[in-house]
Amino acid sequence: MTHVKKRVLVVSSANMDFVMNMHTLPSAGQTMIDHSGSYSFVPGGKGANSAVTVQRLGGDCVFCARLGNDANGAILKNIYEKEGIDTRFISHDKKRPTGLAAIMVEDNGINRIVVYPGANLALSRDDIDHAMTSYPDALLMQLEVDEEAVIYAAECAARDNIPIFIDAGPANRYFPLDRLPPIEVFSPNETETEIFTGISPNSPENCLRAAIALSKIVKAHYYVLKLGGRGAYVYDGLYYHCVPPYDVKVVDTTAAGDAFTAALTLEYLRSGDIERATKFGNIAGAITVSRAGAYTSLPDAGEVEEFIRAKGIRL
């Protein structure tokens, strides 16, 4: 498939993930030597995952984020540049460190995560104004940076008639969604949908109830509920349809939602067809969950094409 490259501006978060695989957590005051454990530093952050996905799937990604003026910040920026992402609008904060997620994973698969947002919370209006000069075809955001930055970026895009796509994670029930201008796609997962509406989308009937409730909170052309192993649910204020998932062996669900929304955004820009775009998002999500890790599991265009051929999918 050949496409005219669409430019997607991602205004969002970038973290370094410190992953600790351990037999069990130490008790309070205990020092434990874990001979069978391991640790690694892995690129993370919902915004960065989306930016990498857009670029790998054939988009032209511009990433606006704030890193610390430290070793982790330098490593992450270098990784984004190697991916081909436009990093001109990534700034380095002199006071705050690069965002860090400390992820503790026990042998039984239970994990505990502590996120230190660091420089992500310092993303400024000047950063956003500068990034908007890239003339993007779309703005893609999550809620992992300061809420005023999200709202301001959305207002800038709306002023310039740039379609806005929001992956509604991580959800905060106090986020002032009513301050957002009309957006193109608002996409929460099951947990985020329940946080915003009080309704768990655990059945077709509840999906509709939740989508209608969302439509009264935030104005969007489409509401796309990410339902994990049940696929996705699309509502446009009048009609709805369910887009089924693709059957894969689930290894690790990390970053699947980020990949889904990035792929949906890119394909919607290319085709203008929300159902096709949602199928494309499901494919990217399916490939992501079939592999371990976050950054390492994000698909590229060749892998998506192979998946489509192998499964006999018609978009």
Q: What domains can be seen in the chain, in order of their start residue?
A: 7-24+37-311 (3.40.1190.20)
Query: Along the 315 residues of the chain, how does pLDDT read in single tens digits?
Result: 555 799 999 999 999 999 898 888 889 999 999 998 899 999 999 999 999 999 999 999 999 999 999 999 999 999 999 999 999 999 999 999 999 999 888 887 777 888 899 999 999 999 999 999 999 999 999 999 999 999 999 999 999 999 999 999 999 999 999 999 999 999 999 999 999 999 999 999 999 999 999 999 999 999 999 999 999 999 999 999 999 999 999 988 889 999 999 999 999 999 999 999 999 999 999 999 998 888 999 999 999 999 999 999 999
pTM over 0.85: yes
Quick one: which of 82, 64, 87, 66 has its CA closest to 11? Answer: 64
Task: Count the helix, strand and coil residues of the chain and give each as a percent rounded to the nearest 5.
Answer: 40, 25, 35
Task: Tell me which H or E stretch contains 187.
Answer: strand 183-187
Percentage of the chain lying above the pLDDT 70 cut: 99
Q: pLDDT by residue (tens digit) across 130-162? A: 999 999 999 999 999 999 999 999 999 999 999
The model's pLDDT over 193-249, given as tens digits with 9 standing for 90+, comes to: 999 999 999 999 999 999 999 999 999 999 999 999 999 999 999 999 999 999 999
pLDDT at 75: 97
